[in-house]
Amino acid sequence: MELSVTNLNFSYTDKPILKELSFSVRDGEFVSILGPSGCGKSTLLNILAGILKPQSGQILTNGQEIHGISGQFAYMPQNDLLFPWRTILDNVCLYGELHQRKEEMKEKAGAQFARFGLEGCEDKYPHELSGGMRQRAAFLRTALCDAGIFLLDEPFGALDVITRGDMQDWLCELRTNLKRTILLVTHDTDEAIYLSDRILILGRPGEGIREEICISEEHRTRDWLYEQGQLRARIHRIIKFV
Ligand SMILES: Nc1ncnc2c1ncn2[C@@H]1O[C@H](COP(=O)(O)OP(=O)(O)OP(=O)(O)O)[C@@H](O)[C@H]1O
Ligand SMILES: [Mg+2]
């Protein structure tokens, strides 16, 4: 599914956070959004998901303008938002339950619990899990949605480096097998280089996209390459520039 954002304006107070922001994402493309803390990344995803209303601007999916909550997006917000009164399995299957497909989703989810390191946690409640486990459960819940565009806000921030690598590979599979369009917010430059077709670097609030970097196929590898190191250093210079 294609996404197109045109002249988006948003502010919480009199200070603009997003100003005339425009960009588009192709069908099946993987785009990462990087930028300094507080520049408006989560705000942007909240607007796309329909949780916040922009003051002006247009959002189109496959050429159709959308307003508010549209059902086109599977959203994993920065804080995991698991419901404390539901078990992990019931949290993960929420989407299926909302669409009257609870049993089918339970089967699908059950097959993934081990892969996500959550075996034995089906009947536990969120407060009984570690931060990393809760984050994996929230990611699994999002991954099981049928929506065309995935909005992921630092989905792996709380994970140890090994598990994070596994989840990144899982995300790669999701993208290849299910052909989803993915918008990922991350602070991890190497993660962005490994996963993305394109990286958008946002500047300070209201500044917009400072630079756009296309990542070629050969750089999406875990074999550490000199060029990836160069790319990482370049991205850091762009983010730090004030
Ligand atoms: N509800 C709110 N009311 C007022 N200002 C807000 C609100 N939420 C966020 N902000 C401000 O808007 C700016 C953008 O916030 P946002 O959460 O989008 O940043 P971010 O780029 O996601 O940062 P981080 O990388 O730290 O998650 C920040 O300066 C923040 O202080
Ligand atoms: Mg954020």
Structure confidence by residue, pLDDT tens digits, 16-43: 999 999 999 999 999 999 999 999 999 9
Q: How far is the centre of ligand 2, averaged over its atoms, from the C-alpha of 76 (Å)? A: 11
Contact status, residue 76 vs residue 125, Cβ threshold 8 Å? no
What pTM does this model have?
A: 0.94
User: Residue 224: which pLDDT band, with cuts at 50, 70 and 90?
Assistant: confident
The domain defined by 3-72+147-240 folds into Rossmann fold (3.40.50)
Positive or negative torsion for Cα 30, 35, 41, 42:
positive
Residue 12 near ligand 1, beta carbon < 6 Å: yes
Contact status, residue 208 vs residue 20, Cβ threshold 8 Å? yes
Q: Which ligand has the nearest atom to the CA of 78?
A: 2
Residue 36 near ligand 1, beta carbon < 6 Å: no
Q: Rounded distance, CA 111 to CA 144, Å?
A: 12
Going from N- to C-terminal start, the domains of the chain cover 3-72+147-240, 80-145
Q: How far is the centre of ligand 2, averaged over its atoms, from the C-alpha of 167 (Å)? A: 20
179-207: pLDDT as tens digits? 899 999 999 999 999 999 999 999 999 99
CB atoms within 10 A of CB 137: 25
Residue nearest to atom 25 of ligand 1 (CA): 37
Q: How far is the centre of ligand 1, averaged over its atoms, from the C-alpha of 15 (Å)? A: 12
Residue nearest to atom 10 of ligand 1 (CA): 12
Q: How far is the centre of ligand 2, averaged over its atoms, from the C-alpha of 154 (Å)? A: 8
Q: Which amino acid is at 62?
A: N
CB atoms within 10 A of CB 144: 17
Residue 39 near ligand 1, beta carbon < 6 Å: yes
pLDDT of residue 221: 87
Give the 3-state secondary structure of residue 144. Answer: coil
Average pLDDT, the chain: 93
Give the 3-state secondary structure of residue 218. Answer: helix
Task: State the DSSP H helix or E strand holding residue 18, giving kind and residue range, or none if neither.
Answer: strand 16-25
CB atoms within 10 A of CB 98: 11
Residue 79 near ligand 1, beta carbon < 6 Å: no
Contact status, residue 16 vs residue 9, Cβ threshold 8 Å? yes
Residue 77 near ligand 1, beta carbon < 6 Å: no
Atom index in ligand 1 nearest the CA of residue 35 equals 21
Question: Cα Rg for the chain, rounded, in angstroms?
Answer: 18
For a mutational test of ligand 1's pocket, the pick from 9, 11, 12, i.e. the residue with the most ligand atoms closer than 8 A to its C-beta, is 12
Residue 37 near ligand 1, beta carbon < 6 Å: yes
Residue 196 near ligand 1, beta carbon < 6 Å: no
Give the bridge partners for 152, in sequence order. 76, 184
Q: Rounded distance, CA 230 to CA 110, Å?
A: 41
If you average pLDDT over residues 7-23, what whole number do you get?
Answer: 97
76-130: pLDDT as tens digits? 999 878 999 999 999 999 988 888 888 988 998 988 999 889 999 999 999 999 9
